[in-house]
């Protein structure tokens, strides 16, 4: 729509050519009482109108519409980025939920093996029945946790369908590999990211384009208060139905100078209103620039934290896994308690869940940084980050 309006505004630079066809029936009044014949005239005519000079009013109007088109396209780009980021975030949530289901399933299998080991010791008289009851309780708790994780996965898939515009009744069959982004380079400066966001954020540039549009509107209103010079030309041929009348041709060319003398202050008020709009939009652009900087800083810190958290969680998982293996060996050797083993398994389950969540958090953090910088998703992994 804005592109069509720009074409309409640009048409003011061209002359206007108008064709007409006239037919008239006339009879003159006679003061002497003599009979006056009826005349029937008809014929085509062609008119030309062209504004020669208007102190830049047309150019300012075209510039205003061009900036409006730019602002609209930039806002559409940002809306598309929002949609893509929403789908991307929902996909990462599905991946995190799937990882949680897998972690809970592994924990359930480990506790099932623990219960089998306890039953063997109970039947051999090496463990009390209370140990078997405690192991069954832990297994039931793990079963509930796995069911809760499956519920969360269903909700995450529903959110992904909503974000992607897929019907809720449609089954998702997604098996896309998640390529983890590279580690954030220590040499990456926050100032460079802020400068990149200022260059690339469509919504920020849309506000600036809107401010320029308002300035052009003010220039157009001011120019409209000055005279304008226009060329007018007309050519026509007149014919008669009466045979005794001969056809005639008419031509005229003229220049018209239009001077706005008084309009009640309308044009001056329009210019002031456009100037105030330009100031308001420029201030909004400055405020948006600060908001963009805040979003970049927050996303940058999230990426740094997610990156360091993955390293720490890896150590946590390795320690918990080794502790669970040692506790299992101690219990089966008869020198450790079931409580120690179950506690170690619970620690391992939490570490496994944290490890599953860490990759998703890292991807989500990079996605937020990508969105804050105004990048497309594919551009993130191809950047210097």
Q: Is the confidence at residue 344, as pLDDT, over 70?
A: yes
Tell me, what's the pLDDT at 380? 42
What percentage of the chain exceeds 70 in pLDDT? 90
Q: How confident is the model at residue 71 (pLDDT cuts 50, 70, 90)?
A: very high
* Tokens, residue 213: 């549009």
Q: pTM of this prediction?
A: 0.74
| Average confidence (pLDDT) over 145-161 | 91
pLDDT digits (tens, 9 = 90+) for 83-128: 988 888 898 888 888 888 888 888 788 778 777 777 776 777 766 6
Tell me, what's the pLDDT at 255? 92
For residues 335 and 79, the model is more confident at 79
CA–CA separation, 75 vs 83, rounded Å?
12
**How many Cβ atoms are within 10 Å of 111's Cβ, its own excluded?**
23
Tell me, what's the pLDDT at 188? 65
CA–CA separation, 6 vs 184, rounded Å?
44
Element (H, E) at 157: helix 129-164
Fold of 2-24+56-381: Outer membrane efflux proteins (OEP) (1.20.1600)
Q: How confident is the model at residue 212 (pLDDT cuts 50, 70, 90)?
A: very high
pLDDT digits (tens, 9 = 90+) for 287-325: 999 999 999 999 888 888 888 887 778 777 888 888 888
Q: Is the confidence at residue 382, as pLDDT, over 60?
A: no
* HSE-CB for 31 with a 13 A CA cutoff: 0
| Average confidence (pLDDT) over 18-47 | 80
| Average confidence (pLDDT) over 61-81 | 92
Q: Is the confidence at residue 31, as pLDDT, over 70?
A: no
Phi and psi angles of residue 22, each rounded to the nearest 5 degrees, phi first: -115, 145
**Average pLDDT value for the chain:** 83
| Average confidence (pLDDT) over 163-189 | 71
């Amino acid at each position: 729509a804005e592109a069509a309006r720009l074409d309409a505004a640009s048409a003011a630079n061209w002359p206007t050519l108008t064709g007409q066809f006239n037919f008239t029936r006339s009879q003159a009044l006679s003061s002497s009482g003599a009979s006056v014949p009826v005349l029937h005239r008809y014929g085509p005519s062609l008119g030309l109108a062209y504004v020669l000079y208007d102190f830049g009013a047309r150019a300012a109007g075209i510039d205003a519409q061009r900036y409006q088109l730019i602002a609209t396209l930039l806002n559409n780009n940002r809306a598309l980025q929002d949609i893509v980021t929403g789908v991307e975030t929902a996909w990462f949530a599905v991946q995190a939920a799937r990882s949680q289901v897998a972690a809970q399933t592994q924990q359930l299998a480990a506790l099932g093996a623990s219960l089998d080991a306890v039953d063997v010791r109970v039947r051999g008289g090496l463990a009390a029945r209370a140990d078997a009851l405690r192991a069954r309780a832990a297994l039931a708790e793990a079963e509930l946790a796995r069911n809760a994780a499956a519920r969360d996965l269903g909700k995450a898939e529903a959110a992904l369908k909503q974000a992607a515009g897929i019907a809720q009744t449609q089954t998702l069959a997604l098996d896309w590999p998640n390529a983890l982004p590279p580690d954030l380079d220590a040499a990456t400066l926050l100032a460079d990211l802020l400068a990149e966001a200022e260059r690339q954020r469509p919504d920020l540039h849309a506000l600036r384009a809107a401010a320029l549009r308002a300035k052009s509107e003010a220039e157009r209103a001011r120019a409209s208060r000055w005279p304008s010079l226009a060329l007018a030309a007309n050519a026509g041929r007149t014919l008669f139905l009466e045979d005794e009348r001969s056809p005639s041709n008419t031509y005229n060319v003229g220049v018209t100078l239009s001077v706005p003398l008084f309009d009640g202050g309308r044009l001056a008020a329009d210019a002031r209103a456009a100037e105030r709009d330009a100031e308001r939009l420029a201030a909004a652009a400055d405020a948006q620039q600060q908001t963009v900087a805040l979003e970049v800083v927050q996303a940058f810190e999230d990426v740094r934290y997610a990156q360091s958290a993955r390293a720490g969680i890896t150590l946590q998982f390795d320690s918990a896994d080794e502790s669970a293996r040692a506790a299992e060996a101690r219990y089966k050797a008869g020198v450790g308690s079931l409580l120690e083993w179950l506690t170690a398994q619970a620690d391992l389950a939490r570490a496994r869940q944290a490890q599953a969540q860490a990759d998703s958090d890292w991807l989500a953090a990079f996605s937020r940084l990508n969105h804050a910088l105004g990048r497309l998703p594919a551009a993130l992994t191809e950047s210097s980050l």
